[in-house]
Amino acid sequence: MINILFVCLGNICRSPMAEAVMRDLIENAKLNDKIKVDSAATSSWHIGEPPHRGTQDKLREYGISMTGMQSRQLHKRDFEQFDYIIGMDENNIRNIYTMLGNPDSPKIFRFLDLTDHRMDVPDPYYTGDFQETYDLVLEGCRALLDKIKHEQKL
């Protein structure tokens, strides 16, 4: 099983959006039996909460399920459990390395570095632009799925 973990600050906007979008792409590609997806926060602010209302609204708009999703914090054991640990921005990448004990590993990387954008995913909690975030997340998830299919020969 290939395990993917998306990480952002609160695990209520960007990373759960990426988790839900990636699950949808995986389901459509009929790879549910090969790839699992989760998301986590670098902060402890929203532990146990569902995705932000704006994220929920955007996912509903596109018919994407968020069943069972609730915020959790990144744990050291996540490094062993996940094959891909993807931070939504540079600050979260730094926090991931610190929280996981500074592992030198290519499995930790910034999400949009897989695309031509090579930028942070803007946080809609602050920008209010959930459509921009969705568009970037969709592009990033497609690129990540292509990367995994190529690397894992799926």
Which residues are designated catalytic? 8, 14, 123
Name 5's bridge partners: 38, 85
* Cβ-contact 13, 55 below 8 angstroms: yes
Tell me the C-alpha distance between 56 and 12, whole Å.
9
**Going by C-beta distance under 8 Å and a sequence separation of 6 or more, which residues neighbour residue 144?**
4, 22, 84, 86, 111, 114
Give pairs for 94-98: CB < 8 Å, separation 24+: 95/42, 96/7, 96/42
Joined together, the tokens standing for residue 12 give 């209520």
